[in-house]
Structure 1
């Protein structure tokens, strides 16, 4: 009999406890780590290709790096500043045009200079509106760090609010490296904030928190609603992948779970060896590692053809002797064997290289340096701090009442345990990210702000944290449009002549039209005047311990399990 949702929440609290954001010793991401909500990288044209302004002036290459003196702590300006990196061009700029600002969010911003160009929606806005484009590196990523390490003490200044305040302080105080670059603050020129995924959510959260600062915003695949138990990450994948592949994956996962919970040591060992993981100790690590094949979906795009990692995986399961399986699949016996063969002969090397399985996919060995390495430019550690404190987004099994393409052995405490392992001085117990505070402060799904354009994709695994979530019924309006294309994750950020799917091109055209309308009505105001001593902001929301959850337990279920 299916458990009631409330009892299912108790199962989550008491269930098996593994993946944390980190890196293997050779620098590759750990193979059992949740996928962050990242923006796709877009390369700018070669530095050998001259960049010229509209009046013919030769401009610096797109990848020229600039530095801004950003406040270390917006609540305590006396602590001084750090060097925050940014990239900039005024290729399309004409006096009076907008400034388009974006950040790739949770990663080193090197390689994102393509977002200065019309290879992206940012550049299309600039081209249409005679604007200038900027890419800024998020604090605590890449080389933009208030301190020289990623210790817990340093990361106390790594919060959503500090990042929002960074954007405000930059916009109001930067002297852009272009003619008149000291006179284009938000009080004199319209600024457009653009982001995708986490940085798309940051766009929404910033416009809520700093009303009137930005003239307009464009938020692609914006995960505006913080959710602890984000099992719905896998729902668009399950629903949109080929039916035969979906059916067989569900069957295999069910067989794996039944075997691992059976207590039959011989059958358990045989199943582990089927995937080439016979030497691994923890069964939740073994079963959880199979999520890697599903995470590959996030890298797909509507223009991708045969040969991508995900399509190769489904073909390995569903094509037998040149014949594709019917919608129901080939059945569990064939699928278990085929998936195992694919892992042993092809996929393991892609994920783990020459590392042994325990180092690559195991999450219980605290001697590995990805638990303790506090060196800067470790995006995984920086992102996991935000995950553990403010947003959650744990990508685990569906509730027992729903079909699941992810093992039931992987529940939220599997990930929350790793918050404690990576940040033991911050978390004496596995923490519960305070998503309730995040959603109240930045409005989550309840956002209502003028001149904010949301663009989403039907096949985006992050869709159910966006304003296009299946569980919501958020209406598009003229002042806050919601446009949905037949895309994946942040597909609409990229513009590839002749290759963009027609539905995504329609989203982009609608956004361009909205920007034209909104900017035509923009008028200067004092709201964007430079500030040297920013206003105080509330302290970081208090971390909730699991011990608090029992008082009242219903409040826990509302934030933990209702999504």
Structure 2
């Protein structure tokens, strides 16, 4: 099966293999691979009483409304996981969702291996992981057809979080006595779910007393070429120099009309049967998307293996200018065909794996449940954009100039022909108008970003706008990558990430000391504190 697609990639959605073996093009802003936080079926012991608690992978179900604007449509079973390992009466309820993924592998976010658990441990709180509607097995309907996806919107997801907090009876002592009016709720998210956290604080200011938004992609951007800018800026200089040279060479050859030269170049990269030029050059983005998998504890990553394959020759590293086109072109081709292609495509042929025009493939037609690429693409094509393509002509680019948003728009139409009669035009402007984008302001919203995050330009730390840090909406920036601050161990590796984590714990401690239950004179709204 082929694909080009997560928080995604589209345009000819260039591909990268997901942990379950499926391919995707545009890279979604997903918060760290779940393998970092594998599910835990061991018993949990309460921190103070030593009472045995259910295993972390115990699944609970909540009756969630299908349509918050029309409750008469009924409910569906939304899955969640929870533990009260550190909970004491009066402590906060810490809620998170992994967003665009099956939530089962994310039970590590219940533990102090993450900032979620650190907060719960410090404040004697309980932790919850809630599966996002239309991902995993939390679905209102039996398929992911266009008709079923009608209720798959950002606003419905926000409403889910608030309705859950207001109505859930948590599986713990006193779990029916902790709605937001009686206990402080903290909403935490990273990447898309970080944006969802910020959006919820804007849209439902009374539901969650505190928000923690990590690498939150709050500004929806249709032509998100800047995704690759932090990669270009922070990858080894010799590697970026040679990648630019190779990509420019691909563009010259593929647009030359010289069929012999085109065939030779495709053969060098094992893409002999890939039909379309934008699929050939767009496929090279896969090596760049691996940057998103980096965190502060990732010394031997696939991304650096790629750069080493190009820049280390006979045990000697290239200077900052790189080795030049002749060596880099061949070295990248050798790495691609001998190592990377198998990881990317498995046993699929190059056209099946990398091609984006054949709509008979199951990637385009599979409407079965637990299909995260399809669910994510629905949001991308309708509300976000986030198409990760070439830079504007005035900017240096490590992505082919042939790869443009027209390919992404085409792929939206290919996947959802019933919804788009022509190329899709995501309403990113509407999403920004509804939830304030870069300019959002909320009380008690802690924002954490990393300078090396490829999604940074969609966050409030983009630099495109000057968003000040305030006491009620502090912005902490470390040297990390995508959502690095969410993982406890990263603070032990990078002191700048540790500083972000410590700052969040300090702010949350202060804010919780000021919390009062409903009816005691406390106002939850945004007010005039900013």
TM range (shorter): over 0.9
Aligned equivalent of 2:484 = 491
Give the Cα–Cα distance (whole angstroms) in 1 for the partners of residues 54 and 158 of structure 2.
28
How far off is 1:277 after superposition? 0.4
Distance in 1, matches of 2:362 and 2:40, equals 36
2 CA distance for matches of 1:38 and 1:45?
A: 17
Alignment partner of 1:172 is 2:187? no
* Residue 137 of structure 1, CA deviation: 0.1
Residue 189 of structure 2: SS of its match in structure 1? strand
2:400 counterpart residue number: 407
Q: Spell out structure 1 runs of 4+ moving beyond 4 A.
A: 20-24
1:389 matched to 2:393: no
Over the aligned positions, Cα root-mean-square deviation in angstroms equals 1.8
Conserved? CA contact 2:15–2:354, under 8 Å? no
Cα contact 1:451–1:480 (8 A) shared by 2: yes
Matched, 1:439 2:426: no
What is the rounded CA distance, in whole Å, between the counterparts of 1:516 and 1:289 in structure 2?
Answer: 46
Q: 1:503 aligns with which of 493, 496, 507?
A: 496
**Contact between 1:21 and 1:384, CA under 8 Å: does it hold in 2?**
no
Correspondence 1:161-560 to 2 at 5 A: 161-305=155-299, 307-496=300-489, 499-525=492-518
TM-superposed CA distance for 1:498, in Å, is: 7.3
* Aligned-pair CA distance for 1:500: 3.3
CA separation in 1, counterparts of 2:451 and 2:458? 13
1:135 aligns with 2:135: no
Whether contact under 8 Å (2:64, 2:75) holds in the other structure is yes
Deviation at 1:456, TM superposition (A): 0.4
Q: Which residue of 1 is the match for residue 21 of structure 2?
A: 28
Runs of 5+ consecutive residues of structure 1 not aligned to the other structure: 1-15, 528-563
**What is the alpha-carbon distance in structure 1 between the residues aligned to residue 295 and residue 381 of structure 2?**
29
Deviation, structure 1 residue 271: 1.0
* 1:67 counterpart SS class: strand
Quote how far apart the aligned CAs of 1:380 are.
Answer: 0.3
Query: Is the contact made by 1:22 and 1:381 (CA closer than 8 Å) also made in structure 2?
Result: no
Is contact 2:15-2:283 (8 Å) kept? no
State whether structure 2 residue 42 is matched by structure 1 residue 48. yes
Instruction: Give the CA deviation at 1:91.
Output: 0.6
TM, length-normalised to structure 2: 0.94
Aligned residue for 2:86, secondary structure, equals coil
1:101 alignment partner in structure 2: 95
Is the 2:43–2:53 Cα contact (8 Å) retained in structure 1?
Answer: no
Question: Displacement, 1:412?
Answer: 0.6
| CA distances 1:220-268 after superposition (whole Å, capped 9, x unpaired) | 0000000000000000000000000000000111111011111111111
Kindly state the Cα deviation for residue 301 of structure 1 after the two structures are TM-superposed.
1.1
Deviations 1:139-198 (A, max 9, x none): 000000000100000101000000000001100000000111001000000000000000
Q: Is the 8 A contact 2:15 2:286 kept in 1?
A: no
Q: For residue 78 of structure 2, what is the aligned residue in structure 1?
A: 84
C-alpha deviation, 1:497, in angstroms: 7.8
- For residues 444 and 17 of structure 1, the distance between their equivalents in structure 2, rounded to whole angstroms, comes to 23
CA positional deviation for 1:332? 0.8
The answer for the alignment partner of 2:112 in structure 1 is 118
